[in-house]
């Protein structure tokens, strides 16, 4: 799940809750309460920046502030301690391979991907072929057309739609029509 600013709740500073009218019965007599009133300036949810600007023009303000970093920390429960240093290695790298141990789905296609654990930069540089940071990137690269594929597609002439010798051309299939565009009742009569 990734951070998204929208939908966003907005409130109006002049918001007033609804007041219900509550008639009471005292000693068998109905005591009329003052009439109620509807809610004024209810909270709204906006789905994009345009809606946010529209409601901001009416005096609405966001409920709180969006903070992508706070969202990341809340979702991952990942506070980096002070003085923490990121280490590039060890890490896994992925490559499309016919006998790969992972199967990755990209749309309707499935690609076999193999992985290798690399412990240092020298081992990373010693790898042959193209390796990717994630299995999905490796699968997408396997499915992407290469330059040679694109050249072949450009050289091909456009295909004519297949024809069936048993079906007459469209012009012969349509019945003769009158001036209004409707088929004639009796096409043999001209």
Residues 17 and 58 in one domain: yes
What pLDDT shows up at residue 59? 94
- Given a cut of 70, the residues of the chain with pLDDT beneath it are 1, 78, 146-181, 183-184, 186-190
What pLDDT shows up at residue 57? 95
**Does residue 69 fall inside a structural domain?**
yes
Look at residues 29, 48, 76 and tell me which one is the last residue of a structural domain: 76
Look at residues 50, 76, 102 and tell me which one is the last residue of a structural domain: 76
What pLDDT shows up at residue 150? 54
What pLDDT shows up at residue 115? 85
Q: Name the DSSP letter for residue 19.
A: B
Residues 71 and 116 in one domain: no
71 vs 2: CA distance, rounded Å: 9
What pLDDT shows up at residue 1? 61
Between β-strands 61-62 and 8-11, what pairing exists: parallel, antiparallel or unpaired? antiparallel
What pLDDT shows up at residue 151? 56
What pLDDT shows up at residue 158? 57
| Torsion of Cα atoms, 90 then 95 then 97 then 103, to 10° | 80
Looking at the 3D structure of the chain, how many domains does it have?
2
6 vs 52: CA distance, rounded Å: 10
Residues 71 and 27 in one domain: yes
Residues 102 and 47 in one domain: no
Residue 100 tokens read as 């790969």
**Does residue 127 fall inside a structural domain?**
yes
What pLDDT shows up at residue 2? 73
What pLDDT shows up at residue 44? 94
**Does residue 182 fall inside a structural domain?**
no
Residue 173 tokens read as 């299939």
Find the domain containing 98 and state its range: 91-145
């Amino acid at each position: 799940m990734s951070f998204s600013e929208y939908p966003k709740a907005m409130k109006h500073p002049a918001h007033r809750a609804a007041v219900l009218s509550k008639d009471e019965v005292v000693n068998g007599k109905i005591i009329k309460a003052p009439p109620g009133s509807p809610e004024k300036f209810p909270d709204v949810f906006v789905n994009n920046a345009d809606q946010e600007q529209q409601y901001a023009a009416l005096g609405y303000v966001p409920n709180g502030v969006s903070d992508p970093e706070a969202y990341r920390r809340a979702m991952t429960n990942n506070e980096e301690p002070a003085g923490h240093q990121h280490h590039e290695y060890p890490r896994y790298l992925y490559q499309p391979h016919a006998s790969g141990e992972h199967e990755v789905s990209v749309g309707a296609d499935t690609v076999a991907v193999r992985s290798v654990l690399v412990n240092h930069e020298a081992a990373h540089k010693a790898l042959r072929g193209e390796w990717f940071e994630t299995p999905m990137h490796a699968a997408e690269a396997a499915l992407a057309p290469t330059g040679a594929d694109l050249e072949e597609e450009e050289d091909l002439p456009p295909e004519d739609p297949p024809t069936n010798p048993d079906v007459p051309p469209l012009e012969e299939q349509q019945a003769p029509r009158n001036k209004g565009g409707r088929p004639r009742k009796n096409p043999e009569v001209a």
